[in-house]
Amino acid sequence: MIEPGPGTGERFEGEATIERLRFLSADGGFAVAEAVLTDGTEMPLAGPIGHLAAGERALVRGAVVHHPRHGLQITVAEAQPLDPAGAEGARRYLRSLPGIGPKRAAELVAAHGEDVFGVIDADPAAAFAALRGVGLKTAERAAEEWTDRRMERRLYTLLAPHGLSRHVGEVVALHGSGAADLVLEDPYSLTAISGIGFQSADRLAVANGVEPGSRSRTRAAATHALRDAENRGHTHLPRAELIGEMRSLLGAEPSLPHLEGDESIVVEDGLVYREWTWRAERWLAATLAAMARAEPAWSRPPVEGEAAGLNWQQLDAVRNAMTCRLSVITGGPGTGKTHLTHAIVEMAASRRLSLRLLAPTGRAARRLAEATEGAPTATIHKALEWIPGELPGRDEDAPIEADLVIVDEASMLSLEICRHLVAAIGPETHLVLIGDVDQLPPVGPGKPFCELIDSGLAPTVRLEYVFRQARRSMIVGAAHAIRAGEQPSGEPSGDQALIEVQDFYRHSRSSPAALADDVVTIATERIPAQFDLDPVRDVQVLAPMYRGVLGIDSLHSRLRDVLCAGAEPVLDDRFRVGEKVITTRALPELELANGTLLVIDSADDERSAIRLETDLGEAVVIPYEQARALRGAFCTSVHKAQGIEVPAMIVCLHSSHAPQLLSRNLLYTAVTRGRKLCVLAGDEKAVARALANTGASDRHSRLRERMLG
């Protein structure tokens, strides 16, 4: 026990001086620091303190906890910056600035005394340039760091009263060195940051002088409502729905005349869009329609005897690929999509056609490469040379260089991704979209794959025949039953001629707590023992929501406690060695797509990095500051699993889950993610709800209507 400092479990409020930062997250919000309390106690701080630098003082509020690896530390809830106390405090703070050091810090304090911070604030570059031996570049570098630190302190003071202090680093990343002024100018810009909703930004706005009935507040509510609608899959909102959403946000009737003249919003036939989304939908509709009606860039149809082994539907699909600029293939599991893709690849090779195979995720791209015996594959983002937050490197002016582009898992393409993909298809290139129209619609606005099929413009083949080998799989049978709205059976049909493989099971419990216990046991004990599978790498649990005893967070935590029991903690116990994690955004510099599954191998505090392993056994090193892009994944959402296939899948679906989250295409998608085994764990009531909900994929979109002109 550290004496005479505070004891474990106590609430803490007092001053602390930062000695050094031990860890800083990528967004600058979370940090771990070594600090000294006013009584001289050395005490680590952990929490939203990324705005503090070495030598700075802060009024800290939080609690004292005992960390299993680092011992006593204060978990910080709030840290209000204070100017350093006394001449020694000022010297310690100033010497941490680049190019200043102890001697020049002492010179500054000696020259300006207690007013040293005020003098520097008045003209940082001049104050540093006045020091002996400090050149212009050194003074400017020190002044820039000084300005950034003071701005972050000002920003913290602005955000903290509204519970937003933990987002300081993200706000700086969004707005740069003028963040505080830009937040005051447009408080609603904060809603672009994950975790800051309209209400939080609105409280800050009103507190800083924005009138409740002002034009800026009304426009901000409309923009937020439209962005939120896009996150739910819509490209627009009908005017009446938008008014309802705005009324809820503003707490009053919105004044629609305030929206007039706002170029970021477009109203068309009573439907309201964000301007970029409106333009993207119009452009994509016109371009897809033109491609569907266009003459082929080239025509190399199959000759007699060349397509042996294909049924008539597959033969039609091959012919379309070889003779049409745009064609579509859709079908459920067991209908031969993979075999068909391989046939198209072989036919393209025999004609010396250059080919690119693309998929939305790294795993899907890798499966595509395996299925086509090493044909050139890539993720869509990589093929487009697209770094998130920037425009793709491939577009109309620099299209993908290929005679034929095949895109698998095309049902996962949102309006934005599809727009950029189609823009990169040159006039001499044929495009084939392959997917399963019955799976979940994409994350993001629109559902271009489904709407293109519904338009009837592009030659489309629906693969209906389930091959005999596939029919032996009870997973395939369950998927097609779900597709038809029927309860999937966990028992073999008894068809002796079929010789079914029991790879689909149902496990029922009425009690949520009992089902959670069973899911943990099935994942960590029964499946590994009975099927000789690795519970970490080969078994995946899916759930439709995050909260509750059968939610993603609780199930992941419980699975981690079993599978990583006693394992070394990583990043102050945020993760543990041996824990399965998933990327929540793309990390292009590491060639990791959003939704990539990894397992933590070790942590290197000296290099401030985590070493992880991919499902292929390849090592990946991620710096601590990028670890915010990871979250635990022993249990994950069905949406996150769209591009994933694993040997064993446990689908948790229970009537305690929110009814609106249970849908037929969610259940169908989840069941088809298991390659060798699927356990549907839940109750019949939840499955019935899911089967009955066929409207969950309904979205406000006019893409089909626009394509048909």
Looking at the structure, do residues 422 and 378 belong to the same domain, yes or no? yes
Looking at the structure, do residues 586 and 447 belong to the same domain, yes or no? no
Indicate whether 30 belongs to any domain.
yes
Looking at the structure, do residues 197 and 255 belong to the same domain, yes or no? yes
pLDDT score of 58:
85
Token pair, residue 674, equals 């298991």
pLDDT class of 377 with cuts at 50, 70, 90: very high
Looking at the structure, do residues 594 and 668 belong to the same domain, yes or no? yes
Burial 350-379 (b: 16+ CB within 10 A, else e): eeebebbbbbbbbbbbbbbbebbeebebbb
418-467 pLDDT, tens digit per residue, is 999 999 999 999 999 999 999 989 988 999 999 999 999 999 999 988 77
Q: Which residue has the tokens 């009446």?
A: 240
pLDDT score of 580:
96
Higher pLDDT, 182 or 79: 182
Looking at the structure, do residues 405 and 317 belong to the same domain, yes or no? yes
Looking at the structure, do residues 366 and 305 belong to the same domain, yes or no? yes
Strand partners, 13: 61
Would the pLDDT of 27 be above 60?
Answer: no
Distance CA 120, CA 125 (A): 8
Indicate whether 521 belongs to any domain.
yes
Distance CA 488, CA 673 (A): 15
Indicate whether 172 belongs to any domain.
no
CATH of the domain at 49: 2.40.50
Task: Give me the amino acid identity at 199.
Answer: Q
Phi, psi values for residue 608, rounded to 5°: 50, 55
Looking at the structure, do residues 134 and 36 belong to the same domain, yes or no? no
Looking at the structure, do residues 123 and 137 belong to the same domain, yes or no? yes
Indicate whether 131 belongs to any domain.
yes
84-128 pLDDT, tens digit per residue, is 777 887 887 788 788 888 888 899 999 888 888 888 888 988 999
**Helix, strand or coil for residue 336?**
coil
Task: Give me the amino acid identity at 375.
Answer: A
Higher pLDDT, 143 or 27: 143
CATH of the domain at 552: 3.40.50.300
191: exposed, middle or buried (Cβ count in 10 Å: 0-12, 13-18, 19+): buried
458-469 pLDDT, tens digit per residue, is 999 999 887 756
Q: What is the DSSP string of 112-151?
A: HGGGHHHHHHH-HHHHHHTSTT--HHHHHHHHHHHHHHHH
Instruction: List C-alpha distances in Å: 289 to 283, 294, 326, 370, 703.
Output: 10, 9, 9, 33, 10
Q: Summarize the confidence of residues 582-605 as an average pLDDT.
A: 82
* Mean pLDDT computed over every residue of the chain: 88
Looking at the structure, do residues 358 and 426 belong to the same domain, yes or no? yes
Percent of the chain with pLDDT over 90: 49
Instruction: List C-alpha distances in Å: 10 to 63, 72, 339, 688.
Output: 6, 11, 64, 49
pLDDT score of 55:
75
Token pair, residue 476, equals 């395939």
Indicate whether 702 belongs to any domain.
no
Q: For residue 693, is it left (φ>0), alpha (ψ between -120 and 50) or beta?
A: beta
**Among 463, 487, 519, residue at a domain's last position:** 463
Number of domains into which the chain is organized: 5
Would the pLDDT of 26 be above 60?
Answer: no
Would the pLDDT of 662 be above 90?
Answer: yes
Instruction: Examine residue 102 and say whether the peptide bond preceding it is cis (omega within 30 degrees of 0).
Output: no
Q: Maximum Cα–Cα distance for the chain, whole Å?
A: 96
**Among 82, 110, 130, residue at a domain's last position:** 82
Distance CA 80, CA 421 (A): 47
CATH of the domain at 192: 1.10.10
- The range of the structural domain enclosing residue 445 comes to 299-463
Indicate whether 592 belongs to any domain.
yes
Looking at the structure, do residues 309 and 431 belong to the same domain, yes or no? yes
Looking at the structure, do residues 547 and 691 belong to the same domain, yes or no? yes
**Among 405, 438, 463, residue at a domain's last position:** 463
Higher pLDDT, 631 or 606: 631
Which pairs with CB-CB distance under 8 Å and at least 24 residues apart come from 600-604?
600/570, 600/575, 600/576, 601/577, 602/568, 602/577, 603/568, 603/570, 603/571, 603/577
Q: Summarize the confidence of residues 559-572 as an average pLDDT.
A: 88
150-179 pLDDT, tens digit per residue, is 787 778 777 877 778 777 777 887 887 788
Indicate whether 282 belongs to any domain.
no
Indicate whether 292 belongs to any domain.
no
Looking at the structure, do residues 578 and 638 belong to the same domain, yes or no? yes
548: exposed, middle or buried (Cβ count in 10 Å: 0-12, 13-18, 19+): middle
